Amino acid sequence: MLRLPTFDYVSPGTVSEVLAVLAENPDARLVAGGTDLLPNLKHGIESAGTVVSLSRLPDLSSVTEREDGSLELGAMLTLEALAGHATVRARLPSLAQAAGLIAGPHHRRMGTLGGNVCLNTRCVYINQTHFWREALGYCLKKDGSACHVVRRGKRCVAAASNDSAPVLTTLGASLIVASAARGERTIAVADFYVFDGVNNKTLEPDEMLLKVIVPAPARGLHAAYAKLRPRDSIDFPRLSVAVAYELPDESTVSNLRIVLSALAAKPIALRKVTELAEGRAPTEDLWSELADSAYAQAHPLTNIDGDATYRREMVPVYVRRALRDALEHGASR
Ligand SMILES: Cc1cc2nc3c(=O)[nH]c(=O)nc-3n(C[C@H](O)[C@H](O)[C@H](O)COP(=O)(O)OP(=O)(O)OC[C@H]3O[C@@H](n4cnc5c(N)ncnc54)[C@H](O)[C@@H]3O)c2cc1C
Ligand code: SF4
């Protein structure tokens, strides 16, 4: 049986107390639902001197409509609540869809939006028992000096595997994070992740995520999410595709975005697709051209399970599926 290592545990009742603990304990780690942090602690993939529970914090689990029409989503909102929330389903159907496809029902009941946004990266060479990793000589991400995915690679390429990240990127969302020393700051989700699998977030150790802000949907917004995974009931993505575009006059596409994930350490916003689709009719011909562009830009690695060649062949298939799904079922209301 895998056991948790020893650590101090605190469960503050206010955000400022959480921030004070983070400021005083550089080795402190936040735990929300614990569905990722706890297995990682058990496997020795992550360590913590102090574990700070967010479960007693009030007011971080709500969905609030702001005056400008944007939605404010609390970091402690569970995935189950997010997926089932009537306003989120109506206004941001691709986000509700992605939340409902994360892990299995038990994880979604415990797991939170904040934990998902801040999820650690994944790799077949790191998400293993300590014994397994030791036998391999560890790797760059933890305890070692070499990467087993990119030979002589100097940077970890473990994959961003959180389903919310590509969707929030297509929706132009931003994050409100806070620290005791510097107060609150806002950062676009598109700028939050970096190409470094050791730590793919621009979140300082003394900061916590408070809220996710999603702007009011543009007129005629259509969006959808498509996810390739071995078992639809529980698994992490082998490929994630989030799409969003506007059909302001119902017949021509505007401002199209496609973001792929589960490939590299951060979600990848495809280049040139906005220009390719602008002003064109939402037809199968256009979807095929966009799918071809996605295929040309996607280069899966052997960082997560699933044959990399197969995952690349699935890119155009899942891009077409997401684009069609957005047209048929993904209109914001
Ligand atoms: C079998 C299994 C399958 C899974 N499948 C998927 C999947 O398909 N897709 C997917 O995306 N995930 C999957 N997960 C991972 C996980 O369940 C989800 O990502 C979940 O949303 C994590 O949320 P949590 O609240 O449990 O995070 P935690 O485990 O509590 O935290 C995760 C990380 O976020 C940090 N954190 C949490 N809250 C905050 C905050 N407010 N501010 C700053 N940092 C914070 C923690 O310190 C930790 O580093 C799976 C997990 C398991 C065990
Ligand atoms: S990508 Fe390389 S360094 Fe990163 S976890 Fe995998 S094997 Fe380790």
pLDDT at res. 1 = 81
CA 158 to centroid of ligand 2, rounded, Å: 5
pLDDT at 112: 98
Is residue 6 assigned to a domain? yes
Distance between CA atoms of residues 179 and 12, nearest Å: 15
Q: Among 52, 73, 116, which is best to mutate for testing ligand 1, by the most ligand atoms less than 8 A from CB?
A: 116
Number of domains into which the chain is organized = 2
Cα(232) to ligand 1 centroid in Å equals 18
Mean pLDDT, the chain, as a whole number? Answer: 97
Residue 238 lies in a domain: yes
Q: Of the bound ligands, which one is closest to the alpha carbon of residue 205?
A: 1
Whole-number Å distance, alpha carbon 264 to ligand 2 midpoint, is 11
Question: Given this model, what pLDDT does residue 265 score?
Answer: 98
Site to substitute for ligand 2 among 43, 145, 157, most atoms within 8 A of C-beta: 157
**Distance between Cα 156 and ligand 2 center (Å):** 5
Over residues 83-127, the pLDDT tens digits come to: 999 999 999 999 999 999 999 999 999 999 999 999 999 999 999
Residue 155 lies in a domain: no
Give the closest residue (by CA) to ligand 1 atom 4: 103
Assigned domain for 160 exists:
no
The share of the chain scoring above pLDDT 70, in percent, equals: 100
User: What is the per-residue pLDDT for 181?
Assistant: 98
Q: Which of 195, 225, 190, 189 is nearest to 209 (CA)?
A: 189
Among 25, 57, 89, give the residue marking a domain's end.
57
Q: What is the pLDDT of residues 242-299, one digit of tens each?
A: 999 999 988 999 999 999 999 999 999 999 999 999 999 999 999 999 999 999 999 9
Range 201-206 average pLDDT? 97
Evaluate whether residue 140 is within a structural domain. no
Range of the domain at 321: 221-329
**Residue carrying the six token digits 């709500």:** 62
Average pLDDT over residues 208-217: 98
Structure tokens that stand for 83 in this block? 């997926």
Q: How far is CA 115 from CA 33, 140, 147, 230, in A?
A: 7, 24, 26, 23
How many other C-beta atoms can be found within 10 angstroms of the C-beta atom of residue 231? 7
Residue 32 Cα to ligand 1 midpoint, Å, equals: 8
Q: What is the pLDDT of residue 58?
A: 84
Given this model, what pLDDT does residue 43 score?
Answer: 95
Q: Given a cut of 90, is residue 59 above it in pLDDT?
A: no
Q: What is the pLDDT of residue 303?
A: 97
- CATH code for the domain in which residue 24 is found: 3.30.43.10
Span 30-35, mean pLDDT? 98
- Does pLDDT of 237 surpass 90? yes
Query: For residue 32, is it within any domain?
Result: yes
Q: Ligand 1, closest atom to CA 177?
A: 42
Does any domain span residue 259? yes
Mean pLDDT value of segment 136-153 = 95
Pocket of ligand 1, beta carbon within 6 A: 29-37, 39, 54, 75, 79, 102-103, 107, 110-112, 114-116, 118-120, 161-163, 208-209, 234-237
Identify the H or E element spanning 9.
strand 8-10
For residue 304, the domain's CATH number is 3.30.390.50
For range 305-312, the mean pLDDT? 96
With a pLDDT cut of 90, the percent of the chain lying above it is 97
Is residue 313, in this structure, part of any structural domain at all? yes
Mean pLDDT calculated for residue range 34-52: 97
